[in-house]
A and B are shown apart, each in its own frame.
Chain A
């Protein structure tokens, strides 16, 4: 099975679905994997849409889509492995957590935000959930200024207002990572 995520040709022989990223690149994906993307699933749930139709995913870049497909493919595989056996479930859970960690480890802040937007647009609940947790982990010990830069936010407090809040909860500012 090709692992580079770029237009893999599944030789499984099962049904496939074509997904088109914002730059026009087409990804041919196994049906089971494509259905992980609820947006895609809804697209085909509409009456009269044939499975040959190319699904236009206008808000997702090809880089992001490639990573999403790679994640969903592995997630589907892992789900097939787990069953009633507690040991197998445990192992599958650990592998899935490893997969999630691997996905975010090398990602820049911009990259992770892009994946979050993609997972949200494509409506992949589990993926969105762990991506949000990953960002939470990244920012939880950071300063207020760091967070403003990360989320591109303006400080709309007056200096007095901000000073007052900071003094009220000064204890929450202890032990914050240096920027």
Chain B
């Protein structure tokens, strides 16, 4: 009987789905060690180029909520939704809802929130659906001078992977009533590091003098920064947070785009899209930071609203394949993703929008439930290790 050396076994293991790897930890101590080795986990992530969407069933009163995984084939075709094990909050007595903030390297950042009845409480978790474990991010109260607790008006979150520090990060932007003045609103920005298990205050201030709302339903990452649409008295602008310098900046938009609702990334460039009943228009900022370089790149004729566009490419192929998430009619419970089979020739290789950062505006305290939110993210299964004890 032939025996294969460990490095060849590792190569074979790196082709396996995560569930098999979890089971094969029982094979032997050498395999247990191999499967949990960080270098192997990285290798596995790179070998398994399975792209997926992870989504939560909307408009459902069932609890715990139902999560589904949809695989995307190499030909950009969507598979059937497969039900997966949901992230479970610690206390089973408290009913909570979840929302997807974003996903990187197989880790999904989840927002747990309990409505008014249970105290308008929220918590953040970093979840690996493939190994069915999640790690709770410690709750960090807003750092207010009076230490009496504040009334939170909005909460915006983003999740990303920092390759320089090999660390996962969560950004939190909180707007709250100034306790000293009932009319004023203050902001606080903090960043959580999974490695350090702690939050850190961001010194830079949000650059708006007048009242503003972060209005996009997700942040997007490109050019080393996170971006959101912001609406203020002067109209619509783009807020950017540079992840290296940790500074905020504002970019102006041509007037045409002031009604646009969503951002995404194509070819490494920031794009905005808006949809009407007839079509979805996509505009691209061809030169980063140059307002005049915004130009229309696509018009995708559609017969129904696309609630969210995720653009993917096939490696090496110079084509844009747009996947739209159809807005389900009121009677449908599950929003079935459908592939919009429009292919347009674009030059250059398109980045896979897989590590998206999502924003969930928390409701005005009182309604107890977010009125919009992200329940779908691009996803890639992995064995990414959650440092420390899981759930």
8 A Cβ contacts from A89-139 to B = 110, 113-114, 116-117, 120, 128-129, 132-133, 135-137, 139
For A144, the chain B residues whose CB sits under 8 A away are 23-24, 26-27
Contact B28 A132 (CB under 8 A): no
For A110, the chain B residues whose CB sits under 8 A away are 1-2
For B335, the chain A residues whose CB sits under 8 A away are none
Least Cβ distance of A38 to chain B in Å? 16
Known pairs A128-B11, A136-B15; A166 contacts B26 (CB<8 A): yes
Interface SS majority for chain A: helix
CA distance A20 to B283 in the complex (A): 62
Q: Mark B18-33, 1 if CB is under 8 A from A, else 0.
A: 0110111111111110
CA distance A165 to B28 in the complex (A): 11
Contact B28 A172 (CB under 8 A): no
Known pairs A116-B8, A132-B8, A154-B28; A169 contacts B23 (CB<8 A): yes
For A147, the chain B residues whose CB sits under 8 A away are 24, 27
Least Cβ distance of A4 to chain B in Å? 25
For B29, the chain A residues whose CB sits under 8 A away are 156-157
Interface size on A, residues (CB 8 A): 35
Contact A114 B16 (CB under 8 A): no
Least Cβ distance of A119 to chain B in Å? 9
For B12, the chain A residues whose CB sits under 8 A away are 132, 135-136, 139
For A86, the chain B residues whose CB sits under 8 A away are 317
Contact A140 B16 (CB under 8 A): yes
Q: Decide yes or no whether A173 CB sits under 8 A from chain B.
A: yes
Q: Which of B8, B27, B132, B317 contacts A153 (CB 8 A)?
A: B27
For B23, the chain A residues whose CB sits under 8 A away are 144, 169, 172-173, 176
For A116, the chain B residues whose CB sits under 8 A away are 4, 8
Q: Decide yes or no whether A141 CB sits under 8 A from chain B.
A: yes
CA distance A141 to B21 in the complex (A): 10
Contact A151 B4 (CB under 8 A): yes
For A171, the chain B residues whose CB sits under 8 A away are 85, 132
Residue of B nearest to A137 (CB): B15
Least Cβ distance of B36 to chain A in Å? 12
For B85, the chain A residues whose CB sits under 8 A away are 171
8 A Cβ contacts from B366-387 to A = none
Q: Decide yes or no whether B261 CB sits under 8 A from chain A.
A: no
Contact B26 A165 (CB under 8 A): yes
Give the A-B pair count, Cβ closer than 8 A. 79
Known pairs A136-B12, A151-B9; A165 contacts B25 (CB<8 A): yes
Residue of B nearest to A176 (CB): B23
For B28, the chain A residues whose CB sits under 8 A away are 148, 153-157
For A166, the chain B residues whose CB sits under 8 A away are 26
For B17, the chain A residues whose CB sits under 8 A away are 140
Q: Decide yes or no whether B82 CB sits under 8 A from chain A.
A: no
Known pairs A132-B11, A136-B12, A171-B85; A148 contacts B27 (CB<8 A): yes
Contact B16 A136 (CB under 8 A): yes
Known pairs A132-B8, A141-B20, A157-B29; A113 contacts B15 (CB<8 A): no
Q: Decide yes or no whether B196 CB sits under 8 A from chain A.
A: no
Known pairs A132-B12, A157-B29, A171-B85; A113 contacts B4 (CB<8 A): yes
Q: Decide yes or no whether A25 CB sits under 8 A from chain B.
A: no
Residue of A nearest to B9 (CB): A151
Q: Decide yes or no whether B233 CB sits under 8 A from chain A.
A: no
Q: Decide yes or no whether A162 CB sits under 8 A from chain B.
A: yes
Least Cβ distance of A43 to chain B in Å? 22
Q: Which of B15, B25, B30 contacts A133 (CB 8 A)?
A: B15
For B132, the chain A residues whose CB sits under 8 A away are 169, 171
Residue of A nearest to B7 (CB): A120
For A173, the chain B residues whose CB sits under 8 A away are 23
Known pairs A132-B11, A144-B24, A157-B29; A172 contacts B4 (CB<8 A): no
Contact B4 A117 (CB under 8 A): yes
Sample of 30 A–B contacts (CB below 8 Å): A116-B8, A117-B4, A120-B8, A132-B12, A132-B15, A133-B15, A135-B15, A136-B13, A136-B15, A136-B16, A144-B26, A147-B27, A151-B4, A151-B9, A152-B2, A153-B27, A153-B30, A155-B27, A155-B28, A156-B30, A157-B26, A157-B28, A157-B29, A165-B25, A165-B32, A166-B26, A169-B23, A169-B25, A171-B132, A172-B20
Knowing that A86-B317, A132-B8 touch, tell me 10 more A-B residue pairs with CB under 8 angstroms: A120-B8, A132-B15, A135-B12, A136-B12, A136-B15, A151-B3, A155-B27, A156-B30, A157-B29, A171-B85
